[in-house]
Amino acid sequence: MWPGLRCHPAIVNQSRTFAPSGPSFPFASIPPATYFGHATRPKFPAGKSTDCPVPYFDHNATAPLHPAARAAWLDAADRLWHNPSGLHAAATRALASLEDCRERLADLLGCDDPRRIVFTSGATAANNLLARHLARTAATDAVAILSPLEHPAVHAAFGTNFSGRVVESDVDRDGVVPVDVVNATQDACAGRPVACVSVMAAGNESGVLQPWQAIAAACRLRRIPYHTDATQWLGKLPASGLGGCDWVTGSGHKFGGPRGVGFLVVPAEATFFGDVGGPQESGRLAGTENLPGIAGMVAALEARDRDASATATRGAGSRDAAIDFLRRQLPAAVVVSGGADRLWNTLAILIPGADSRKMVAALDRAGIEASTGSACSSGTASAARVVAATAGWFSFPPESTFGMVRFSAGPETTAAEWIAAVGALVAFVSSDSKAPRVALG
């Protein structure tokens, strides 16, 4: 058994502490995690104590339902369950609530015209709608310029609809797409029309922040449509200003809204239509709107956006303290995008010689829920996108392999939980003879 976290029966409330055992564990005690006033969801190996909490570090995959979202969902499902497209009074009330949600979301994003917002079943659906629309309306030889870090929902959607016409921009050593690189990529298209430039607002893997405001302005000067997938930005940093982009996609469950609901922001002047077969969304997307889900999504974003700046400051401090601890204990570890501004909640770590799945499994046994890409081999297609895109900047030995772990916290994650998570990783890697403990080269 590797030395690391063990479930301890002392954890039942805030006045009691989590006391990990094992000679290599680097700290004395950790207060239990709390989310919305109660202990994190318990999960235990067979035969282990049921008092052991599970710090949740996979918010970039999905976030727990925010109480405001739950309340809004239940209220809409109870009072406003009617079809907003109906003609009777109850349906009219549902439609009024739907439009109120649209206006509130527009205010959060800074959209002057709420009609720019099309509600969808999520960001994947929105990205596919966008790519199909652009392919249908752009010139047949038009290209789409994407960053190499885009989520598969963007890459696959554009790859399918712009087959052979997707151009990837370069990035710097931290995975940032500078504005001059975007301009140079456009210039390199040799006169071919550009249907769209798509650069995400914040990375899902390393949390790297892109200069989306500057890219939007540069594209506007060249009259080239700009899309940003804001899925990871929303709920973590202030949403204001995103409405200045031509196209924006987002998903509710990433910031505490219900699953199965998202949105697409379209240009005010665009003649956009997606799926056909009904008059919903002003004739732009057929299908009865998920009003309870929409209400929950907007309520969650309002709640998270209200304290976004303060949460970011506090969260970054906790994450950075964990990084300092990591570097002292495991100099070989590489913080992905470590030299760039990143989401306060995200920490992606490369461990030379380690196995990603084994690390995540070990963390899970230690009571830490985290995530990873597949085991990374620098510069290969199997690597996480941000690792593959930035590998050329580093002097890694040929054929070097890496394991990657991503921790992504929530607003309620404590500094002690950050140290617990990184400490559990250090404990496992220190017990793994294949993983080096000193910095490479």
Q: Which residues are catalytic?
A: 376
Cα separation, 213 vs 118, in Å, equals: 22
DSSP string, 14-77: TTS-B---STT---S-BPPPEETTEEPPP---TTS-TT----B-BTTT--PPPHHHHHHHHHHH
Residues 174-199 as b or e (16 or more Cβ within 10 Å = b): bbbbbbebbbebbeeeeeeebbbbbb
24 CB burial (10 A radius; 0-12, 13-18, 19+): middle
Q: Please name the helix (run of DSSP H) or strand (run of DSSP E) that holds residue 301, with its range, or none.
A: helix 291-306
Structure tokens at 386: 């941000």
Structure tokens at 60: 């970039």
Cα separation, 72 vs 271, in Å, equals: 32
257 CB burial (10 A radius; 0-12, 13-18, 19+): buried
Of 49, 76, 2, give the one whose Cα is nearest residue 291. Answer: 76
Task: Identify whether the C-beta of residue 408 lies closer than 8 Å to the C-beta of residue 235.
Answer: no
36: left (phi over 0), alpha (psi -120 to 50) or beta: left
Laid out side by side, the sheet with 117-120 consists of 117-120, 262-265, 247-251, 226-229, 194-198, 143-146, 166-168
Our CA dihedral for 163, 165, 170, 175, rounded to 10 degrees, sits at: -40
**Own/partner long-range contacts of 99-106 (Cβ < 8 Å, ≥24 apart):** 101/291, 101/294, 101/295, 101/298, 104/298, 104/302, 105/263, 105/297, 105/298, 105/301, 106/243
Residue 18's contacts (CB-CB under 8 Å, 6 or more residues apart) are: 8, 10, 11, 29, 30, 31, 32, 52, 53, 420
- Which residue in the block uniquely carries the two structure tokens 């890459």? 155
Structure tokens at 438: 């000193």
- Which residue in the block uniquely carries the two structure tokens 């554009």? 158
